[in-house]
Structure formats: structure tokens, C-alpha cells
A and B are shown apart, each in its own frame.
Chain A
Amino acid sequence: MACGLCLITAMASCKKEKTDEPAPVNQGELITTVQLLLEDTLSGSIVDTVSFRDPDGPGGQPPVIDSLVLSANAVYRVSVVLLDESKSPVDSISGEVKNESDLHLMVHRALPGSGFLTFQTEDTDNNGLPLGLQAIINTGSAATGTYTVELRHFDTAALKLSGTTYETDVQVSFGTRLN
């Protein structure tokens, strides 16, 4: 019992935090921004940057999403950049994904399905499986649709190989027009 009393005293004395001075929320890691850098494979220059930005995280202000305009029947290289803009300085998350490449997969897909946009990933993880932070896009004939990037997070490298059990970390879609 005496032991219990000491414990209580200890508990009471370690209560240093102040209720009326709450810490700011969402101090943890957050992906607020997804940027697509589009490079003309012929000239090697960045021709467009579009982004999905939600600096206050989920909820609150709705995200701001750019739309993408590309040339029909052309070839681009896309690089996906993930940022945490709620921090200052801005924190880049892409590097962390690269470090854990064997647990991540960036999937690129588009609607409508056939021939609108086709993708080939350029980068691979430590095990030689696709990573997808960089990909080549072949555009089809003039049309409108959506382009979605999705970051899948696997518990183990073996699960990435089987490909079915994962958690979706990022899933953003951009309205896309081919001229």
C-alpha cells in the first residue's frame, strides 16, 4: 500500500504539462503536397509542374489541385515529388520513400484506359522491382481524362512482390487534357 502511495505522489509530481498551453497539432510527418515535374524527353527541359497542395493536412481547407495540359502523341518523363509544406523549412518525403524503396510502389494510371496515357516506370527498388518515382509517359491522341498517382506502402518486401496487401499512403488525381 505504501508503495501505491509513493506511486501516486510520483504521478502527481510528474504532472508538469499545462492544459491551458496545448501543443500545436499535427507535429508528425505529413505529406501535404504531391508535385509532378514533367520533362520533355527530347529537350530535357521541365515543361510543366503541377501539384496537389493541402498544406493544413486532411480536413480544414480543401486541397488545391492543378490540372495538366500535355501535347498529344508526345513523350514525357514524370518525376513525383512528395513534400511536407506544413513544416518550415519544407520537408521532402520523396527521399524517405527512396530509402525504403523495397516497401513502396508509386503506381501511375489514367482514365480513360486505352491509349490515353501509357506509363513505364524508370526506377527500381533494391530488389529490382519497380519503384515509380520516375516514369515515362506516352500520350495518345487529343482527349481529356484523369491521371492518378498512388503510393502503396507494404509491410515487408515479400508483400511487395505478391502485391496484394498494402496501405495506400497517397492517392491523388489530376484532370488532364491532351491537345
Chain B
Amino acid sequence: MRRLLPFILLLSATVGMAQSPCTFRLSGIIRDASAGETLPLAKLELTESGEVTLSDIDGRFTFDSLCSGTYLLKVSYVGYDSLLQKVSIRGNTDLRLKLKPAAKQLKQAEVVAGRMAEKNTIASDTLSREDMERSRGFGLTEYLKKVSGVSGIQTGPSIMKPVIHGMHSQRIVIMNAGIRQEGQQWGTEHAPEIDPFVADRLTVIKGASSIRYGADAVGGVILVEPRRLPHEPGLQAEINLVGMSNGRQGVASGLIEQHLGKFFDLCWRLQGTVKKSGNSKTPDLYLQNTAFEEYNWSGSVGLERKRWGVELFYSSFNTKLGIFTGSHIGNLSDLQRIIESGQTISDNEFTYRIARPRQEVNHHLLSFKAFRTISNVGKLNLQYGYQFNHRFEYDRDRPLNDSLAGLDRPELELRLYTHTADLNLESRNVRGFTAVAGVSGMMQDNQYGGQRYFVPNYVLYNAAAYTMIRWRRKRWELEAGGRVDVRRQSVYRNVSKVVLRNDYDFVNPGLAAGAIFRQDSSITWRLNTGSAGRAPSINEWFSDGLHHGTATYETGDSTLGVEKAWNIIGSFSFRNQHLALEASLYYLSVADYIYLVPAEEPVLTVSGAFPAFQYRHVDAAFKGVDFSLDWDLSSALSFRSRNSLVFGRNLSAGRHLELVPSPRFDQLLSYRFKDGEHWKNLSAGVSLLYVARQAMYESGSDYIPPPPAYALVGVEASASHVHAGQEIRIGLSVNNLFNAAYREYMNRLRYYADEAGRNITLKLTIPLHFKTAGHAHPHE
């Protein structure tokens, strides 16, 4: 109940909603800078909200219903340089804008470079506003799949984790609110413990070139950035409501934030999400025990001055999720029987009840960050994070002993405590040079409890130092950096009631270099290369046992050393006002890739023989192509395309690697209607997702061959309704419109059942603005 409290507070606060001050109008006229002619049909975009309008035949434009604040207005027009202008809205505002013909391309390149300043040269993708809106209500991985090169690996409908260029789990670092997310990543059935409603921006950095976020990010980095605390005085709130037909899922999320202008520029925010879903449904049947629920909340408070600022952030993620009962098997003959009979569903009904087998996970994150700018030097950043991950796994069967069964204890309990700290200095620009240098430290403590052995206890210390230098001049941008990580991990095991301690020490160096060449205003070339080293995770060293529900016996190897990766990514992008195209090619070589290799002899146990797998080093290589396209076919019609291909190879054995995503092609055609008096941003679209069969498969390496290719059609529509200054954003979408029965290679469910069928989603977003803090109260 306590977890619900902020949400209730939020709801009660909104009852006393005051008239919104968002009634200001931004209008203006656009002219050619040299000739002075007005420019019709220029595209104007408010970058924060993504709101777009076109100038009329006389070059005039209007944005209505704006709140007071500072906006970044982007103006683009064929044959002219794009213009980015900061606009401060305090009342109705009229602007006179002049665009320069594109002959002076250098100017524009500088503008773009200026915006790029925070970014790496490395290929990264930030989800667009539209894609964020489109994914509302779904899990984090569903958002990230909108980026080409990203897919998901799943254990049933409730557990999905992101895969970047074929890599997942420990090979991906997730930075949650600036803190390295440290959950229990010991398997594919452990999803990231993050509420996507906390995220305002999601960025995917692909490849092993992450100097700043950790040497072990062999596959890439995902940045989850909460929305910035408000920087203009006022009180505002937002409510998100999502309903889904499949699973009869309901999601409610809300936030309230305030900038107390009068009191020391202090700002605060409270945010909460409640999510509840029943059993998922394939086209034919309900998947037994696939219900899940989530209760999350976060709060932050910050103080920001010109030269310094501090912010405290806390988030609590709590989930309880069922594991599809049909996927839990006793031994290999059970699995073979299921595959042959094809029918495993014993209990075909809808329920919200979550029975065994199930997981319960709580993740707490506390972060404190501070910055100070130092004249003539730059900006000093300090961040400390504390995380506590508490995980319970309940097996399918309770103990046979009734008194034990009555306790309903988890068979597995894992506690992971992590402290992280990072101190860095970002230098100011000196003749085109900027640099970042920093040190970071981590202390982690893992404790195991429960009935079943999984991984041993350990204490881990990691210290790192890194630096990155960037040089920018005219069309070129070059970057180089290095990082070194020193790690000690002490592992404690209880073997026959004797505690054994083993210490492991590692030194991992990492290097990265990148270059950007802006050929002209529309064409950009990028090349990045980097190396990374990942120390084995605890399960790769010390797993020893039957893996929960997968009918394999996994054995770790405590002699395994560091996995060394090296990658190169080249990309080409073309961008003008109608077309944005990006293609990248990559190659990732991993020496001593840690990999589960089938053992020759099965392990004989009391419940039969199990195929045995051992963690071993092999040499592996991944290569692939990502291609994305955003094309405005006309002022109303646009086409969006995200495609990825990846190949994984076990070089040591000369075989294809298992569980590499198959080729994926995701297309969306959308039509934008003219704004009406009350209805704005009205658009409708149709999407087609085609996922090919994984043809790069060694026959016999899996219990069943990869499932056939599938194509899914979806439709969607969204609009904002503005009435009396109050905006409501509405979205309606149907996934898997034709209720196709299909199976996905990257989902463990493929052995047992089809994927989820048709899903109709309705979303409402209601932003609320209050005049002042005092007026929020209904009696005032």
C-alpha cells in the first residue's frame, strides 16, 4: 500500500486542477535572408515536444496553446540552412525569421556540431518522441526495439531483455539515471528492473567503444535518462493511462513536479506507475501463469544554480511475475514429449492470479549527483549511487513435505548490494579541443539464500580511470580515449560446511577512437573502433546445477579469464528536410568469448539424464548491418523503416552461434491530417514487421529448428485534443492485427506455445499545468 501512496497523492493533487496557463501563441513569418521573399511550406518544429507545423503561402506560421518557458525552434526548408533558435515564451510572441540559402554550408555544419557536443562520435540512436509515445505502457525492451540493431531475448511474455548486435545480459551496460544498473543478470530470464515511465530519453550506443560507462560493455550501452527537473517556476503534472486487450492489462502512471521559484530554485518530482496484467493470450489459448504486476515509484529533488547544482534521485521498482507453467519441465523427455504433442496447456483460462513458478524482484536505486563549473577549466561532476536488488524465485513445485510447503518460501533468494561513485571533469572548449577525465569505483556484495544453490556469495571491488579527448574543426571531428579497470572479486562458497574463499584479480584496459567527417550539409561519415574487456560474471565461474526450468545442467569454470572484444563500426548518414537515412556496418571480434559449450557426456541425476553445458572460451565474431530511413513522402505522408541483420560465428568450432537474432525489417507508413480547431497532430499509420527465419543454424544444435519467418501487421492512430487550454493526447493501436500464430526464435516460449495474439492498446496522456503552487488546492 505504501508503494501506492505517491500515486494517490498525485491523483488527489489533480482534482484541484487550475486553469492551465498554456494559452500562449507563437507566430511569425519566414523570409529568405538575402532576397527577403517569404517562404511558404517551411517546416517548423518545437524540438522538445516534437510539435510540427508548416508555414502558409505567405510564409506565416503559428503554434497555439504553448506554456510559458523556453523552446528550441527548428526551421528547415529546401535549399536553405536549417535554423535553430531559442525562443522564450512569456506571452503571445511574434517572430521574424530569416533563412540563409544553403550555399553557406559551413555555418550549418557548425550548428550541427554544436548540438553534437554532448554526444560521442560513436553510433548512437536516441528514440524519437513518436517512438517513445508509441511504446508507452510496454516494457523497456519493447521501446528499445524501435532502434535498428536492437531486438529482444525473451522467456515468455513477461520477461524480455534487450539484445544489441546479438549481445545481451552482462555484455550490455544499462545506465539508469546516470548509475550503472546492477541487477542480477545471470540469465536470460532476468529482465532489467527499470520502469520505462521514468525515462524521458532512451539512447542506445552500439558496439564495444564505451570508455565512459565501463570496460565490460562489449555489446553496447543503453542510457535511460529521467526527464530533467523543471527549470521554470511552476507546478505541473502528467497522467498516463494505458489499457491493453491482451492480458487485459492496465497501466497507470503519473508524475507531479514543481519548481519553487521563490525558494532557492528548488525543484522536486514524484512519479509512480502501477501495472497489472493477466494471462497473455495466443491466437488460440491463454498462456497459463503469465500474469504479472508492477508497482514502481521514484522521487527527485534538485537545486540548480548557474555554477553549481545538486540532485537526489530515488527509485523503487517492484515486480511479481508468473513464469509460463507449460515451460517448466522436469527432464529432457518431458521437453521432447511437449515438442512432439505440441499441446502443453493444461489450464486454458484467463486470470490475474500469479502462481508458481514465479519471480518477485525489488530494485531500489538512490543517486546523488552534483556539478560545479569552474571558470577557465570546465565542469566537475560527481555522482554516487546505491542499489539494492532483491530477487526471489519460486519453483513450480512446493516441497512434498507439507510443513515446508505451508511456509511458501522461495527456493532461491538473491541479494545484490552495489555502491558506485564517479567523479569527472569535462573541460571547456580550447581551440577545438574538449576532454573528459574521470575516475569511478564500484563495490558490490552478492548474497545467496534459499533452498537451491545458484551462485555463491561474493564481494567485488572495481576501480577505473578514463579519459577522452575530442578535437573538432570544420568538417572533422576526431575522438580518442582510454580506460583501465582494476577489479578484485572475492568469492565465498560453502562446500561441505567448509567456507572456501577465492580471490580473482583483473586488469582490463580499453581503448576507443572515432572520427566524423561531414562531407556537406546532408552527408556524414562516421568510423569508430574500440576494445573492451569483460571479466567473467559469477555464473560463468560458479554455476553448478540444473538451470531453473530449462532442463540443462550448467557448469561454470573458475579458470575462465577476461573476454576481449574489438569492434569497428562505419556508418553513413544522409539527412535533408525530407529524408533521413542511416546505414551502418559493423564487425565485432571477441577473443575468449565465454560461451556455453555442450559437454560430451550428459549428467545423470535422480530425475534422469540431462544434457550438460559448460562455460568455455571460444573465439567468436559478429558482423551485421543496420539500416534506418525516415522519409517524408509529402507534407502529410511519411515512411519510417528500421532494419537489421546480424551474423554470429563461433570461429573456434567453425559453426554458427546459437541464439543470434534473425533478420528483422520494421516498416511504418503514416499519414498526418491537418490540424483542426481542437484536434491537433492527428495521424494514422500502418506498420509491417517482417522477421525472417534464422537460416544461420547448425542442424541439431537446438531441440527444434528455428521457427519459420513471420510478418505482423499493425495499425495505429494518435492525436492531441486541446480544449480550453487543456491538452489530452490519445493513442490507439492494434498489434498483430490479423491475430497471426507465430513463434520467435529469441523466445524460450518457442518450444511450447505461440507468441501473443492480437493486442489492442488505448493510451491517454494528460499533461496538467497549474498556475502556481498555491492554486493547486481546490479551496483557493
Say yes or no: A97-B400 contact (C-beta < 8 A), given A17-B415, A52-B606, A171-B607. Answer: yes
A27–B333 alpha-carbon span in the complex (Å): 27
16 contacts between A and B (CB under 8 A): A3-B299, A19-B492, A20-B457, A20-B490, A22-B456, A23-B449, A26-B452, A28-B411, A59-B544, A63-B606, A99-B400, A164-B341, A166-B330, A168-B334, A170-B606, A171-B333
Task: Find B334's partner among A23, A26, A167 (CB 8 Å cutoff).
Answer: A167
Question: What 0/1 pattern do residues 92 to 131 of B give for CB contact below 8 A with A?
Answer: 0000000000000000000000000000000000000000
Question: What 0/1 pattern do residues 8 to 44 of A give for CB contact below 8 A with B?
Answer: 1001000101011111111111011110000000000
Asked if A171 and B268 make an inter-chain contact with CB atoms under 8 angstroms apart, the answer reads no
Residues of B within 8 A of A59 (CB): 544-545, 553, 555, 603, 605
Asked if A22 and B402 make an inter-chain contact with CB atoms under 8 angstroms apart, the answer reads no
Is A90 part of the binding interface, using a Cβ–Cβ cutoff of 8 Å? no
Is A129 part of the binding interface, using a Cβ–Cβ cutoff of 8 Å? no
Residues of B within 8 A of A7 (CB): 314, 316, 364
CB nearest to B333 among chain A residues: A168
A28–B394 alpha-carbon span in the complex (Å): 12
Residues of B within 8 A of A4 (CB): 299, 314, 316, 366
Asked if B605 and A11 make an inter-chain contact with CB atoms under 8 angstroms apart, the answer reads no
Is B386 part of the binding interface, using a Cβ–Cβ cutoff of 8 Å? yes
Is A159 part of the binding interface, using a Cβ–Cβ cutoff of 8 Å? yes
Q: Which residues of A pack against B, CB within 8 Å?
A: 1, 3-5, 7-8, 11, 15, 17, 19-29, 31-34, 52, 54, 57-60, 62-63, 93, 96-97, 99-100, 153, 155-156, 159, 164-172
Is B608 part of the binding interface, using a Cβ–Cβ cutoff of 8 Å? yes
Asked if B606 and A31 make an inter-chain contact with CB atoms under 8 angstroms apart, the answer reads yes
Say yes or no: A170-B499 contact (C-beta < 8 A), given A19-B458, A20-B492, A23-B494. Answer: no
The winner among A24, A58, A60, A100 for most chain B CB atoms within 10 A is A58
Residues of A within 8 A of B268 (CB): 1
Minimum C-beta distance from A104 to chain B (A): 9
Task: Find A167's partner among B330, B415, B446, B456 (CB 8 Å cutoff).
Answer: B330
Asked if A54 and B388 make an inter-chain contact with CB atoms under 8 angstroms apart, the answer reads no
Asked if B606 and A58 make an inter-chain contact with CB atoms under 8 angstroms apart, the answer reads yes
Residues of B within 8 A of A57 (CB): 605
Is B190 part of the binding interface, using a Cβ–Cβ cutoff of 8 Å? no
Residues of A within 8 A of B199 (CB): none
Say yes or no: A172-B453 contact (C-beta < 8 A), given A7-B364, A59-B545. Answer: no
Interface size on B, residues (CB 8 A): 71
Residues of A within 8 A of B402 (CB): 96, 99
Asked if A1 and B299 make an inter-chain contact with CB atoms under 8 angstroms apart, the answer reads yes
Question: What 0/1 pattern do residues 278 to 318 of B give for CB contact below 8 A with A?
Answer: 00000000000000000000011100000000001010100
Say yes or no: A24-B497 contact (C-beta < 8 A), given A1-B268, A59-B545, A167-B330. Answer: yes
Asked if B497 and A62 make an inter-chain contact with CB atoms under 8 angstroms apart, the answer reads no
Minimum C-beta distance from B614 to chain A (A): 11
Secondary structure type dominating chain B contacts? strand
Is B399 part of the binding interface, using a Cβ–Cβ cutoff of 8 Å? yes
CB nearest to A5 among chain B residues: B314
CB nearest to B551 among chain A residues: A168
A62–B388 alpha-carbon span in the complex (Å): 38
Asked if A58 and B605 make an inter-chain contact with CB atoms under 8 angstroms apart, the answer reads yes
Residues of B within 8 A of A19 (CB): 445-447, 457-459, 492
> For chain B residues 374-426, which have a beta carbon within 8 Å of chain A?
386, 388, 396-397, 399-402, 404, 411, 415, 417
CB nearest to A63 among chain B residues: B604
A127–B314 alpha-carbon span in the complex (Å): 55
Minimum C-beta distance from A169 to chain B (A): 6
A145–B494 alpha-carbon span in the complex (Å): 41
Say yes or no: A22-B492 contact (C-beta < 8 A), given A11-B364, A28-B399, A59-B544. Answer: yes
CB nearest to A52 among chain B residues: B606
CB nearest to B362 among chain A residues: A11
The winner among A3, A54, A63, A97 for most chain B CB atoms within 10 A is A3
> For chain B residues 1-44, which have a beta carbon within 8 Å of chain A?
2, 5
CB nearest to A91 among chain B residues: B401
Minimum C-beta distance from B286 to chain A (A): 15
Asked if B346 and A165 make an inter-chain contact with CB atoms under 8 angstroms apart, the answer reads yes
Residues of B within 8 A of A170 (CB): 606-607
The winner among B329, B494, B604 for most chain A CB atoms within 10 A is B604
Asked if B401 and A8 make an inter-chain contact with CB atoms under 8 angstroms apart, the answer reads no
Question: What 0/1 pattern do residues 326 to 342 of B give for CB contact below 8 A with A?
Answer: 10111101100100010
Is B246 part of the binding interface, using a Cβ–Cβ cutoff of 8 Å? no
Is B344 part of the binding interface, using a Cβ–Cβ cutoff of 8 Å? yes
Minimum C-beta distance from A33 to chain B (A): 8
Minimum C-beta distance from A71 to chain B (A): 28
Asked if B346 and A155 make an inter-chain contact with CB atoms under 8 angstroms apart, the answer reads yes
> For chain B residues 433-453, which have a beta carbon within 8 Å of chain A?
445-453
Residues of B within 8 A of A167 (CB): 328-330, 334, 396-397
Asked if B494 and A25 make an inter-chain contact with CB atoms under 8 angstroms apart, the answer reads yes
Task: Find A8's partner among B314, B325, B329 (CB 8 Å cutoff).
Answer: B314
Is B777 part of the binding interface, using a Cβ–Cβ cutoff of 8 Å? no
Residues of B within 8 A of A27 (CB): 451
CB nearest to B345 among chain A residues: A165
